[in-house]
Amino acid sequence: MTRTPFVGGNWKMHTDRAGGVALALAVAAGAPDGCETSLFPPFPYLLPVAEALAGTALTLGAQDCHHEPEGAFTGEVSIPMLAECGVGAVLTGHSERRHVLGETDETVARKTHAVLKAGLACVLCIGERLEERREGRTDEVNARQLRAALEGLDAGAFERLVVAYEPVWAIGTGNVATPEDAQDAHAHIRGVLGEIAGAERARTTRIIYGGSLKPDNARDLLARPDIDGGLVGGASLDPAQFLEILRAAAENA
Residues that bind ligand PGA (CB under 6 A): 10, 166, 171-172, 210-213, 231-235
Amino acid at 84: E
Q: Choosing from 36, 128, 166, 244, which is the catalytic residue?
A: 166
| Alpha helices by DSSP H, the chain | 17-30, 46-53, 79-84, 95, 105-117, 130-134, 138-150, 179-197, 199-204, 215-222, 239-251
- Residue 78 or 230: which CB sits closer to ligand PGA? 230
What separation in angstroms does the CA of 34 have from each of 63, 89, 139, 236?
24, 18, 30, 18
Residue 113 identity? H
Which of 61, 64, 143, 67 is CA-nearest to residue 98?
A: 64
Burial readout 138-150 (b: 16 or more C-beta within 10 A, e: otherwise): bbebbbebbebbb
CB of 210 to ligand PGA, least distance (A): 4
Tell the smallest beta-carbon distance from residue 8 to ligand PGA (Å). 8
Nearer to ligand PGA, 13 or 72 (CB): 13
CB of 170 to ligand PGA, least distance (A): 6
DSSP state of 66: B
> Least Å distance between CB 163 and ligand PGA?
13
Could you tell me the smallest distance in angstroms from the CB atom of residue 87 to ligand PGA? 17
CB hemisphere CA count around 136 (13 angstroms): 0
Residue placing its CB nearer to ligand PGA in the complex, 166 or 226: 166
Catalytic (active site) residue 14? no
Which of 32, 48, 36 lies closest to 9 in space, CA to CA?
A: 36
Please state, in angstroms and rounded to a whole number, the distance separating the CA atoms of residues 16 and 189.
Answer: 36
**Amino acid found at 253:** A
- Catalytic position from the list 66, 67, 94, 188: 94
To the query of whether residue 113 is one of the catalytic residues in this protein, the response is: no
Nearer to ligand PGA, 158 or 165 (CB): 165
Query: How many angstroms separate the Cα of 127 from the Cα of each of 38, 105, 190, 211?
Result: 21, 12, 14, 10
Question: Measured from the CB atom, is 64 or 197 closer to ligand PGA?
Answer: 64
Residues labelled catalytic:
94, 166
